[in-house]
Amino acid sequence: MKILITGAKWHYDLPGISALGFQEIGHQTEIFYDNPPDWLLKGSKILSRTPFRNLSNDLNNKYRKEVEVKFLYKIQEFKPDFIFVIGGAQFSYKMIKKIKDGHKIPIVNFVVDDPAFYSRTLFYDLSAYDRLFVIDRSWMAVLEFFNANHVYYLPHAGDSCNFKKLDLKKEIDIAFVGSLSLRMPNAPSGYLRAEILNALAEAGLKIKTYSPGIADAFKEFPSLKNIEYYDGYKNHNEVDKLYNEAKIVLSIHSPQLKTGVSPRVFDAALSGTFQLAQYEPELDELFPKGTIKFFKNTAELVDLANYYLKHDKEREEIAKKTMDWVLKNHQPKNRAKLILNICKI
C-alpha cells in the first residue's frame, strides 16, 4: 500500500519516524514536509507584538493556502491509498473535505499538540478527518464531540533508527534534553524544567543538558549556571550519545500533556540508560511495574537520583528491562500496525 505522510520536521522528526514504522511492515511511503519558512515564523512573531497583529493571521493564511495547493499536487503525483497527517494545523476543513470527496482516500490525523491552545481553528479542521489519533487521553472527550466514535489513543513511539545502546563510559550523573526558554509559547515548559534542573544543581548533582533558552533562565534560576550546557538543539545521534554517557536520563513532559508522555521517554529507554520520568498517569499503562521509575515533585526526584547513583547494579538492571520492553512494544512499527488495524486497511 502507498502511504502519504505529512507534518513538520522540527528537532523531533515525527513524519520520518512514522514513515519508518509503515515501511517496516511492508508499505511504500512518501513524506510531504510542511514546515513554515523562517521568514514567516519570524515575521508572524514580530507582527503579533505590534498594533498590526492581524497581519500575522493574513501571512499564515496565505502560506496555508500555498501549502494546500502543493499538497494536492503531491497527492495527484504519488496517488496514495492512505494519508497520515501529523498535527494538521496547515490544512483547513475545506481542504480535508476536498481530498475525501474528490480523491476518495482515507485521511487521518495524529494529534500531537493540545487542540485547545495550538490553533484557533484546529477543532473545526480536525472534525473533517476520518479518524483522529491522540497522544493524550485528556484531549479525547472534546474531540469526540466533533468526531464521535472516531477518536483513538495513540502514544508516541521511540525513534529506533537513531537511539540505541552504545558502549560508552558513563561520566555524567544526569542528562536532560529539552527547551528551557522562558518566552511564550515555550514558557510553561521552560519554567517547569528550569525549576526542576535548578533543584538538582543545588543538590550538587553533575548535569549535562542540551537546552535552547537556558541562558535566559539564569537570572531567575542562578544554580543553572553550574550545569554543563549547550544552548540549542542537537541531532538525534548526538542526543543518543549524551544519553549513553549518562547514568540517569531525566524526562520532563510539556505541561500541555495532562496524562500523556513525551517521546523522549521511549528514546531514552532505547538508549539503554536508566531514566527518571516526571509522573503522568499513562506511564502506568505504557510501562509495567519495575521497568521505569518516576517522580512527582523535586524533593522526590533529588532523593531518587541520589539513591540510584549509588546503586549501579540495580540501576542498570532496570534500564535493561525498560529497553527490552520498548523494543518489543513501543517501536514505530507497533504504532503503524495499530493505526492500520483501527482503520481496517
pLDDT at 221: 96
Predicted TM-score of the model (pTM): 0.91
CB atoms closer than 10 angstroms to residue 118:
15
Span 12-31, pLDDT tens digits: 789 999 999 999 999 999 99
The answer on pLDDT for 169 being more than 80 is: yes
Q: How confident is the prediction for the chain on average, in pLDDT?
A: 91
Contact by Cβ (8 Å): 209, 230? yes
- Residue 290, judged by CB atoms within 10 A of its CB (0-12, 13-18, 19+), counts as exposed
> Using 50, 70 and 90 to split pLDDT, how confident is the model at 115?
confident
Span 188-203, pLDDT tens digits: 999 999 999 999 999 9
* 207-210: strand order across its sheet: 228-230, 207-210, 172-177, 246-251, 275-278, 293-295
Domains 2-157+331-342 and 172-329 share a fold: yes
Q: What is the mean pLDDT of residues 134-150?
A: 93
Span 268-291, pLDDT tens digits: 999 999 999 999 999 999 999 989
Superfamily of domain 172-329: Glycogen Phosphorylase B; (3.40.50.2000)
The answer on pLDDT for 45 being more than 60 is: no
- The domain spans of the chain are 2-157+331-342, 172-329
For the ranges 38-42, 99-103, 117-121, 335-339, which has the lowest average pLDDT? 38-42
Q: What is the mean pLDDT of residues 160-184?
A: 93
Superfamily of domain 2-157+331-342: Glycogen Phosphorylase B; (3.40.50.2000)
The answer on pLDDT for 164 being more than 60 is: yes
Cell of 89: 494545523
Of 317, 311, 234, the residue nearest 273 (C-alpha): 317
C-alpha to C-alpha distance for 238 and 43, rounded to whole angstroms: 31
Contact by Cβ (8 Å): 294, 303? no
Q: What is the mean pLDDT of residues 120-146?
A: 92
The number of angstroms, rounded, from the C-alpha of 87 to the middle of its chain's C-alpha atoms is 11
